[in-house]
Amino acid sequence: MLTLLLSSCHTKTDDFVSKHCPGSCTVIKGTLTTDARNKPLAGVKLEVQWREGDMFSSISRRKAITTTDDKGNFELRFLLRDDELPDPYSYNGSFTVKAHINPDDYLTCSGGNTLLHTYDLKRDTTIIFDYVLPRKAFIEIQANNLQARQQDDFLQTVILYDSPCLPAISWFTRDTKYTVPVAANQPLIIRTTKRKSGVETITEKVITLAPGQTSNYQLTF
């Protein structure tokens, strides 16, 4: 009974007719690539959704849908309804661009299939959105001798690569091992900053992993 009641409070509709909006369209266009932007991702379905609400009630509209061409190019065109326009005095929902991908194979900031999340779109606006969607690999990082840390000591590992979001581990907890998803087929810089007894050092190692590969990396405090 509770499930039926909750489901009836959530409304999902397609609003594709709004793409016919000469002079008023919002356009999100760009190129979707992988492998350090060297390989276009063709045939990937993308869609824009607007959603307002919470876990108890919501309105969701699918605004536009398209598929990337052979060069990874795409264009999403739609009209913002009056209740979707940004309002400085109230929450008018948010927009997401989602890719129909397998999140087990590809790396996104959200960990799912969301490429863009924004609250502030306007009519008669074109947004250039070039997105690199790396295929996924993994680094298993083991930190040794953490028990030797003193109050003012510091240890952090950051993995740098071409992505809008980068993993960082601050070794403050008792955990000594993390498995971190990273981008495949591009250079990865594993940078560790260590401050011990007032002396700070930075070490770096560069590796490249194949899709699906797991590499083991150890550091010592």
Domain of residue 201 covers 136-220
CATH number, residue 70 = 2.60.40.10
Q: Which of 81, 104, 132 is the last residue of a domain?
A: 132
Calculate the average pLDDT of the chain.
89
Question: Could you tell me if 119 and 167 lie in one domain?
Answer: no
91-95, 109-113, 193-197: which is most confident = 193-197
pLDDT tier at 54, thresholds 50, 70, 90: low
- Give residue 90's pLDDT: 66
- What DSSP letter does each residue of 176-205 carry, written as one string? -EEEEEEESSS-EEEEEEEEETTEEEEEEE
User: Does the pLDDT at position 92 exceed 80?
Assistant: no
Q: What mean pLDDT do residues 65-75 have?
A: 97
Structural contact between residues 126 and 29, judged by C-beta atoms closer than 8 angstroms? yes
Question: Could you tell me if 124 and 154 lie in one domain?
Answer: no
Structural contact between residues 5 and 33, judged by C-beta atoms closer than 8 angstroms? no
- Sheet architecture: strand order including 177-183: 177-183, 136-144, 214-220
Question: Could you tell me if 140 and 206 lie in one domain?
Answer: yes
Domain count, the chain: 2
State pLDDT tens for residues 171-213: 887 789 999 999 999 999 999 999 999 999 999 999 999 999 9
Helix (H, G, I), strand (E, B) or coil at 84: helix
Structural contact between residues 220 and 174, judged by C-beta atoms closer than 8 angstroms? no
User: Does the pLDDT at position 19 exceed 80?
Assistant: no
Question: Could you tell me if 47 and 101 lie in one domain?
Answer: yes
Q: Which residue has the higher pLDDT, 68 or 13?
A: 68
Question: Could you tell me if 111 and 146 lie in one domain?
Answer: no
Question: Could you tell me if 38 and 101 lie in one domain?
Answer: yes
Question: Could you tell me if 19 and 49 lie in one domain?
Answer: yes
Residue 125's DSSP bridge partners are: 26
pLDDT tier at 5, thresholds 50, 70, 90: very low
Q: Provide the phi-psi class of 105: left if phi over 0, else alpha when psi is between -120 and 50, else beta.
A: alpha
* Residues sharing a CB contact under 8 Å with residue 131, sequence separation 6 or more, in sequence order: 30, 31, 32, 33, 115, 116, 164
Structural contact between residues 24 and 125, judged by C-beta atoms closer than 8 angstroms? no
Structural contact between residues 105 and 211, judged by C-beta atoms closer than 8 angstroms? yes
Question: Could you tell me if 77 and 150 lie in one domain?
Answer: no
- Give residue 73's pLDDT: 98
Of the candidates 115, 85, 116, 89, the one whose C-alpha atom is nearest the C-alpha of residue 103 is: 115
Q: Give the span between the Cα atoms of 25 and 15, in whole angstroms.
A: 13
The percentage of the chain sitting over the pLDDT mark of 90, rounded to a whole number, equals 63
